[in-house]
């Protein structure tokens, strides 16, 4: 993974959220180091989604501080994309009047502030290959990734080169006058959809598609923005075992920082580096999966009785 | 994981075929301009006047369909915005007698009004937004009677106009100018809505939370949509003042605003073709009603028959083609 990591990319310090008399989050602190996959689990109503809403700026904490890259930060929802933070919604939040492709394109905005050394997935896709396209340099020019295991993902897919050919010749030249921005965003969106296994639905409307596919589209939209922090709110809901396995692979390979709220324990235990357990808004445990699964308090919170 | 990824079958050939082919907006605009130009030479004066009115209506319905159809903001106040443009145009024209200057002044004033209403509108949703814009539709005409020294109350103002250049008949000149305004508006709107901004508009309409998370500034998008739409209404107001050579509150009643919304719904929400069809109906249906009532010989019918016809058309179109007249073509293609 990337070498120059700041101590903590995102940090929550003593966050408390009260809705009237109800304390949704009680003194929750969480440090999310860059490149790590951090899970947030807990029974229903534990405050997991509220925690996400705090980070996204939908909920202003009653007390506590949030820091991003070591600086105090007041999150605003529409700034997240610019800052490289992408979040998926629990109930698939899609634009029913847009095609799947357009849905994903909404998440692609021109951000020039990106560092070339980012842990974006594009770099790893093109690992070892010098970038041939100058105009896409802003995100293509990353150093070759150190991660060698990426190649496996390409097996069975058209070769890198073939993909590039198709990209050039497949575009109708008619639209050339509009400049490359739109074309590039379309290609980025298609790539993201392909990565999430939903490319075949690109020109359909999401409302008519099965739930599991819409989940993939939601994921594609988040990935298409090439986030450095990916926040997934119950991404496995409604997916079958195969798909969850696929999702686990995807999460591990994103090569970004991931914050994951999930009920599906297998997934959480399989992918997370660190897990925060909430119960009625209180943090009851924080640690690597092995510790968490052995933690009595966690078992108690989930099963409701001392084992 | 690789195996699972391959699970989804690839039907890329089929997908590519389904991709929507997009025509650059300039092509239909130029064709439309040529068609209108040709028509103005063959049509009799009254038909030219009607053609000009269609152009004026198209200017406002095009802007309204972007606001309501693409951005999901319902405005019942566009008639009042037209009145704002028309009165500004009349006042400026009577003072300076310079068309470009007056048009600019009218559009600027309406844009400003659009900013004010749009800022409020961005905080309101659904019925509350409808209520606010409805209030605007009611208030603006009554302003003319409150400040009757400037606006001359119900009598309205006459608009000083330069005669058409050369030997061009008045009606033909009117048709040219109205359609120039309409087509320029349509071109600008089509260009604006084509790329990312259009996508943002629709994203905000469909799911504000998801749009916000995707990086769309929701309030800004809504205000811009309202302002753009208001500017179109302002230009349409100018064209109406230019057509009637006068402005009066009676020309911009509440029913006008309602008719505009009905027209874009019948035509097909969110589509410029729909806005055009709606504009045609706005001229054709009242004319039809008038002919019908003249045949029947009843004076009472005339005023109300247009409303009845409009209502019936709305119901029939919504039953037969819920996407509006503009969607019939696509539906037909899809069924085949």
What ipTM was reported for this prediction?
0.79
User: How many degrees, rounded to 5, is the angle at CA B317 between CA B316 and CA B323?
Assistant: 150
Do residues B179 and B52 touch, judged by C-beta distance below 8 A? yes
Residues of chain B scoring pLDDT < 50: 1-17
- Residue A166's pLDDT band, with cuts at 50, 70 and 90, is very low
Q: Residue B222: its pLDDT value, please?
A: 95
Cβ within 8 Å, pair A221-B12: no
Convert chain A into a string of H (helix), E (strand) and C (coil): CCCCCCCCCEEEEEEEEEECCEEEEEEEEEEECCCCEEEEECCCCCCHHHHHHHHHCCCCCCEEEEEECCEECCCCHHHHHHHCEEECCCCCCCCCCCCHHHHHHHCCCCCCCCCCCCCCHHHHHCCCCCCCCHHHHHHHCCCCCCCCHHHHHHCCCCCHHHHHHHHHHCCCHHHHHHCHHHHHHHHHHHHHHHHCCCHHHCCCCHHHCCHHHHHHHHHHHHHHCCCCEEEEECCCCCCCHHHHHHHHHHHHHCCCEEEEECCCHHHHHHHCCEEEEEECCEEEEEECHHHHHHCHHHHHHHHCCCC
Cβ within 8 Å, pair B202-A174: no
Do residues B56 and B236 touch, judged by C-beta distance below 8 A? yes
pLDDT digits (tens, 9 = 90+) for B3-30: 333 333 444 434 444 555 567 788 899 9
Q: Residue B301: its pLDDT value, please?
A: 64
Do residues A105 and B199 touch, judged by C-beta distance below 8 A? yes
- Name every residue in B having a CB less than 8 A away from some CB of A: 1-2, 4-12, 14-15, 18-20, 22, 24, 194-196, 199-200, 202-203, 205-207, 209-218, 270
Q: In whole angstroms, give the CA distance from residue A171 to residue B22.
A: 13
The residue that leads in pLDDT, A281 or B229, is B229
Closest CA to B129 of B137, B121, B117: B121
Query: What are the extents of the domains in chain A?
Result: 1-84+228-307, 97-223
Answer yes or no: is B126 within a domain. yes
Answer yes or no: is B333 within a domain. no
Which residues on B lie below 8 Å from A181 (Cβ)? 195-196
Answer yes or no: is B218 within a domain. yes
Answer yes or no: is B149 within a domain. yes
- Residue A86's pLDDT band, with cuts at 50, 70 and 90, is very high
Q: Is the pLDDT of residue A179 over 60?
A: no
Do residues A1 and A150 touch, judged by C-beta distance below 8 A? no
Q: Residue A120: its pLDDT value, please?
A: 39
Tell me how close the Cα of A97 comes to any Cα of chain B, in angstroms. 7
Closest-CA residue of chain A to B195:
A182
The percent of residues above 90 in pLDDT, for chain A, comes to 33
Which residues on A lie below 8 Å from B72 (Cβ)? none
Instruction: Give the SS3 label for residue B76.
Output: coil
Answer yes or no: is B117 within a domain. yes
CATH, domain A1-84+228-307, list 3.30.750.210, 3.40.50.2300, 3.40.50.300, 2.120.10.90: 3.40.50.300
Answer yes or no: is B80 within a domain. yes
Cβ within 8 Å, pair A200-B9: yes
Closest-CA residue of chain B to A87:
B213
Which residues on B lie below 8 Å from A253 (Cβ)? 1
Could you tell me whether strands A274-279 and A37-41 are parallel, antiparallel, or unpaired per DSSP bridges? parallel
Closest CA to B154 of B145, B163, B166, B162: B145
Answer yes or no: is B147 within a domain. yes
Tell me how close the Cα of A57 comes to any Cα of chain B, in angstroms. 10
Tokens 């004076």 found at = B299
Q: Residue B109: its pLDDT value, please?
A: 96
Average pLDDT over residues A244-265: 89
The percent of residues above 70 in pLDDT, for chain A, comes to 72
Tokens 């010098």 found at = A130
Closest-CA residue of chain B to A57:
B213
Domain count, chain B: 1
pLDDT digits (tens, 9 = 90+) for A106-135: 988 865 434 333 333 333 333 333 333 333
Give the number of other CB atoms < 10 A from CB of residue A74.
11
Which residue among A102, A109, A242 places its CB closest to the CB of B4? Answer: A242
* Host domain of residue B201: 24-159+168-253
Average pLDDT over residues A25-37: 91
Q: Residue A114: its pLDDT value, please?
A: 41
Q: Report the predicted TM-score, pTM, of the whole model to 2 decimal places.
A: 0.82
């Amino acid at each position: 993974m990337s070498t120059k990591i700041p101590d903590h990319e995102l940090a929550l310090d003593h966050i408390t959220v009260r809705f009237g008399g109800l304390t949704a989050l009680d003194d929750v602190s969480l440090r999310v180091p860059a490149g790590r996959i951090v899970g947030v689990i807990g029974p229903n109503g534990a405050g997991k989604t509220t925690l996400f809403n705090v980070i996204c700026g939908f909920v202003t904490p009653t007390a506590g501080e949030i820091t991003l890259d070591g600086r105090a930060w007041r999150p605003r929802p529409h700034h997240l994309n610019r800052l490289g933070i992408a979040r998926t919604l629990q109930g698939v939040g899609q634009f029913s009047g847009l095609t799947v492709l357009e849905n994903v394109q909404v998440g692609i905005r021109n951000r020039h502030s990106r560092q070339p050394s980012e842990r974006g997935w594009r770099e790893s896709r093109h690992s070892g290959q010098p970038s041939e396209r100058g105009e896409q340099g802003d995100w293509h020019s990353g150093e070759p990734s150190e991660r060698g295991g990426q190649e496996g993902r390409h097996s069975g897919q058209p070769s890198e080169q073939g993909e590039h050919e198709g990209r050039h010749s497949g575009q109708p030249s008619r639209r050339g006058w509009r400049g490359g921005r739109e074309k590039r965003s379309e290609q980025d969106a298609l790539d993201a959809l392909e990565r999430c296994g939903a490319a075949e639905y690109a020109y359909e409307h999401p409302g008519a598609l099965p739930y599991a596919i819409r989940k993939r589209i939601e994921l594609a939209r988040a990935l298409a923005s090439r986030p450095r922090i990916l926040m997934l709110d119950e991404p496995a809901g409604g997916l079958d075992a195969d798909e969850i396995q696929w999702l686990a692979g995807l999460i591990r390979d994103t090569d970004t920082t991931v914050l994951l709220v999930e009920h599906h324990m297998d997934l959480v235990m399989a992918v997370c580096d660190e897990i925060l357990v909430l119960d009625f808004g209180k943090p009851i445990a924080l640690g690597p999966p092995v510790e968490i699964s052995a933690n009595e308090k966690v078992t108690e919170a989930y099963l409701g009785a001392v084992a | 994981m690789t195996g699972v990824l391959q699970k989804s079958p690839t039907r890329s050939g089929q997908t590519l075929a389904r991709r929507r082919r997009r025509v650059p907006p300039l092509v239909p605009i130029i064709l439309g301009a040529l068609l209108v130009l040709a028509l103005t030479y063959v049509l009799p004066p009254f038909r030219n006047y009607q053609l000009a009115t269609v152009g004026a209506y198209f200017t406002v319905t095009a802007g309204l369909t972007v606001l309501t159809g693409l951005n999901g903001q319902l405005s019942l106040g566009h008639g009042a915005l037209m009145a704002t443009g028309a009165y500004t145009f009349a006042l400026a024209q009577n003072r300076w007698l310079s068309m470009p200057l007056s048009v600019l002044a009218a559009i600027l004033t309406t844009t400003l009004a659009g900013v004010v209403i749009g800022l409020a509108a961005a905080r309101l949703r659904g019925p509350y937004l409808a209520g606010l814009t409805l209030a605007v539709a009611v208030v603006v005409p009554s302003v003319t009677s409150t400040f009757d020294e400037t606006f001359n109350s119900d009598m309205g103002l006459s608009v000083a106009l330069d005669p058409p250049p050369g030997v061009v008949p008045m009606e033909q000149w009117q048709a040219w100018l109205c359609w120039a305004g309409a087509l320029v508006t349509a071109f600008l709107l089509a260009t604006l809505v084509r790329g990312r901004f259009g996508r943002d508009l629709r994203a905000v309409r469909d799911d504000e939370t998801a749009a916000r998370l995707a990086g769309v500034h929701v309030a800004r998008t809504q205000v811009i949509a309202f302002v753009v739409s208001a500017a179109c209404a302002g230009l349409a107001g100018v064209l109406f003042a230019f057509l009637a050579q006068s402005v009066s509150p009676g020309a911009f009643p509440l029913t006008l605003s309602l008719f505009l919304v009905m027209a874009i719904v019948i035509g097909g929400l969110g589509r410029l073709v729909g806005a055009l069809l709606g504009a045609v109906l706005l001229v054709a249906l009242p004319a039809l009603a008038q002919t019908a009532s003249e045949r029947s010989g009843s004076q009472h019918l005339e005023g109300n028959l247009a409303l009845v016809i409009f209502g019936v058309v709305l119901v029939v179109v919504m039953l037969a083609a819920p996407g509006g007249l503009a969607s019939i073509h696509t539906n037909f293609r899809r069924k085949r």
